[in-house]
Each structure stands twice: as C-alpha cells, then as structure tokens.
Structure 1
Amino acid sequence: MDLKEQNSILFWDEMKVYFNENSPIIFKRLNEKLISETVLIPIRQLHKDHPDTHYCTVLFQYLREFAILYQQHVLFIYADNKYDKYKVSIEKGINTSTGICNRKTMVFQETPLIAYNHDFTKLSLTPSVIFFYNIFQSIENSFYSEKVFVLFKDKVFQPSSAIRYTTEFYNTILTHHFNNIPPILCLYTDDSSDHRTIFGSVQISLICLFLHENFDILIAMRTALHHS
C-alpha cells in the first residue's frame, strides 16, 4: 500500500497500528531486565581471511623444524612492523612558545631553553619491535622468549624504509650476539610493505645484510596479509 497516495488520516492510523503492535518478542525486549554479559572472542577470529594463510602457517612450521635441525647454528628473529601505525607523542608536559610559527625566539645566551617551538608539538616517535626466538628440541615447545628489543624512530627525519629496518636487524643482532653471530639467519616478519619479501627494495636490503654479515644462509619469510 502506497501511503503517499492516501490521505494523512490513513497514514497516521497505519503508523499507530505499527508502533502499537503487540508482538511477544518486542514486548519481551522492552520489559525484560537486561543482564550485562562479557563475551570472549578469540583474537584469531578478528583476523581477516586470506587465501595464503594456510600456506604461510605450513611454511612457518617448516622454518621452525629447520631451526630445530640446525639449532646450534641458527639465529631466529621475528620483526613486527605494525607499530608503525602508532605515534608516541613526546610533547606532553613541554612548555611551548607563544611566538609565531617558524619564527626565532630571542633569549639571553646564558638563559636555559625552557620553551620549545610550535614545530616540536608535531614531533612523535615510531616504535618497532624485534623478538629473538628460543629454539628447543621439539616443535611442540613455545619458541617465544623474553628477549625483546624496542627501537624508536623520529617520524619526520627517520621515515620507515626497508634498508632502515635491515639496519635495525643488524644493530640488534650485534647488540645481542656481539662477535659470536650464528652463520644461519631465519627472519620472520609481518606483512608490512617494508618487510614484504616480494618487493625489490626488501630483497636488496636483505642481500646487503647477507653479504655484510657474511651469513651462510639467510631465510626470510612473512605472515599472510592481515595476520601479523
């Protein structure tokens, strides 16, 4: 029934019948006491599905089995780049000058600087996380350890790139192993563009790391898309 062609009285009569309909379900929802209930959702159900998920999972299992086979000669690390979406603000609690933006502030030479420019309020740091895996005799054991390195980059002057992350890998490996670096490096990363092994920039960066550190074997893998 097209109410546009009917008069206004019929329209409001139909609306009254609709809203005053005695439906058991609606009546129950309006008069029943609501009980707040906590629902637990596994984090895996929040991941987006991808056709390569199964293959990446199997490859990761093969990589761990390879690491177990050559346990004494393998360095196994995981790099997570999803934190590049976060910004650690550092301007909170900092005095900011009320002067005009991009203008110099005149102070005496012996006066300490206690107020910062407006540009400083735009400054933020970006974290990146690198994990070192423990390699056990059995694949049933957890490979995760408490060896975690968190590095911070300036969002403006240190933008993310494949070669920058490779440099972070190198510095972290030197910090952790000093001069006793294993000859085999197994690298497992997330699906970010700076870690995606199908990109030429990432491949060149990994080749530089392989040659500079004189590894015998370098294996680089990544998770499926949206599964970091």
Structure 2
Amino acid sequence: MVSARQFRKDHIDAYYASAIFKYKKEFAVKFRDVCTFVCQDDKHTVKIGEPGFPVAAVERGRKVLVGLNQSMQVGDHDFTKFSLSLSVSFVVDIPQDMEGSFYDGQVYVGLKENVFEPSSAMRHACELNEVLSAEPDNKPVECHYHDGGPDHNIRYPRTQIVQLAYFLHRDLDQLILVQTPPHHSWKNPAERVMSNLNLGLQGVQ
C-alpha cells in the first residue's frame, strides 16, 4: 500500500523518470538472456534494545497491546544506543514479455550496524557483488534501479566513482543505472519487500 501522503507529491521529472524505467524494462526483456535486473533499497532504521532494557516495537505515539494486569515497562525509541539498517537487493526474474511481472525473483537482505557499518555507496556495491557472485550465471549486462538516496544517487561523484569501480571489477559489458524521482520511491519494485519485512519485525524489541 502506497502512503497517502506520497500521492500529493509531484516532481517535474516524474514523467521522464517513469518513461526511462519503462524503456529500461523493455531493454531487459529484449536482452534477458544476457541481462541481470536488480532493484535496491534501504529500509528505515530499526532500533535495538539492550539486555534488561527492552524497546517498544512501535514508534512514539502508537498504541501497543498490554495484558490486563501488566504495565508497559519498556523504553521508547528516543532511548536506544543501537540500531540496524536493512539493505534489500531484489534480483528480478525478467519476464518473457512486457505483460509479465517484474515482481518475481530472489530477495537478499543484509543487516548493518549503523555505528561500525554505516551505509555507503561502496558498501552497497560490495554487498551487491557478493549477492550476484552467488548467482548461478554472471551475465555481462546489469540494470540497476534504486531511489535517489545519498548512497545510491548517481548524480553524486562518489557514487559515480564507486559504480565505475564496480563496472570494472565485475568485468561488465554494460551497466545501466536508473533512479526514481524525488517523492516517487514507491515505483521501486524493492519497496514491495518492505511490507513482508515489517511483518517479520513486528513485536521484535
């Protein structure tokens, strides 16, 4: 389900970004035998409690279920020292034609501790290299799709340098990078994974 607040957002490049994504999918379908289609996204930070000091599994202002004769003795999210970030890499099973689904494939989720393993363009590239190296066949063409966050924004020189190094390390023939326009991250197929992750994390302190 797309957040209602995103429907009120618009961007001057929304049409062009959607068109480029469509052309990219058509390219992947046409050259599916030599192409790998990957969607990436980071989930919101997950706060972690400490031994003897659990943390409520909901954000501030939300309600939780408590037993009739029990008290809610847990900390809120403002009193945590540890947090994890979940990085999702979605390797799409490219359909035979454009009528097929781009929401089938293999999902890989990486956990990073935010203090000692902060997210960066280099870390994402290394994680993706490990993911694709485990695939049965490494294809010479890769298509990447992600949002415009600071770790993936292809307009940033540091991201361009990392992607160039990734291209050379993977010995690719072609690397195609496309990102969503601002306020339109819901277009990313990797966002479909987040609801399942939310279910898995529900009630975790």
Structure 1 length as normaliser, TM-score?
0.65
CA distance in 2, matches of 1:45, 1:51: 20
Matches within 5 A, 1:163-202: 163-175=122-134, 177-178=135-136, 180-202=137-159
Would you say the 8 A contact 1:191–1:227 is kept in 2?
A: no
Corresponding letter in the other structure for 2:91: F
The answer for unaligned runs of 5 or more in structure 1 is 1-41, 97-120
User: Cα offset for 1:147?
Assistant: 1.1
Relative to structure 1, the CA distance from residue 185 to residue 146 in structure 2 (aligned partners, 3 Å threshold; closer, same or farther) is closer
Q: Does 1:89 align with 2:48?
A: yes
Alignment partners' CA distance in 2, 1:158 and 1:215: 28
- The 3 A distance-change label for structure 1 pair 62 and 44 is farther
Q: Could you tell me which residue of structure 1 aligns to residue 15 of structure 2?
A: 54
Instruction: Report the Cα distance in structure 1 between the residues aligned to 2:49 and 2:175, rounded to whole angstroms.
Output: 37
Show structure 1 runs of 4+ deviating over 4 A.
none
Check the 8 A contact 1:75/1:186 in 2, yes or no: yes
Q: Give the C-alpha shift of residue 43 in structure 1.
A: 2.4
Offset at 1:90?
A: 4.8
1-structure distance, mates of 2:26, 2:112 = 34
Residues 31-180 of structure 1 aligned to structure 2 (within 5 Å): 43=2, 46-47=5-6, 48-81=9-42, 83=43, 85-91=44-50, 94-95=51-52, 122-175=81-134, 177-178=135-136, 180=137
* Greater relative contact order (CA < 8 Å, ≥ 6 in sequence): 2
- Larger-Rg structure: 1
Contact 2:45 2:83 in 1 (8 A): no
Per-residue deviation, residues 76-131 of structure 1 (Å, max 9, x unmatched): 000012x1x3224153xx247xxxxxxxxxxxxxxxxxxxxxxxx61221111111
Give 2:145's aligned amino acid.
Answer: Y
Aligned residue number for residue 188 of structure 2: none
Partners of 2:24 and 2:181 lie apart in 1 by 15
* SS at 2:87 equivalent: strand
Residue 217 (str. 1) matches residue 174 (str. 2): yes
Query: Does the residue aligned with 2:100 lie in a helix, a strand or coil?
Result: coil
How far is the alpha carbon of 1:224 from its aligned partner? 0.6
Give how far 1:146 is off. 4.3
Q: Percent identity?
A: 35
Q: 3-state SS of the aligned residue for 2:90? A: strand
Q: Does structure 2 retain, via aligned residues, the 8 Å contact 1:132–1:144?
A: no
Alpha-carbon distance in structure 1 between the residues aligned to 2:179 and 2:109: 19
Structure 2: runs of 5+ lacking an equivalent: 54-79, 186-205
2:176 is aligned with what amino acid? I
Output the CA distance in 2 between the equivalents of 1:71 and 1:50: 31
* Bigger helix fraction: 1
Distance 2:141 2:173 in 1: 6
* Separation of aligned partners in 1, 2:41 and 2:29: 22
Q: How far, CA to CA, are the matches of 1:140 and 1:50 in structure 2? A: 27
Aligned length: 157
Q: Distance in 1 between matches of 2:170 and 2:2?
A: 37
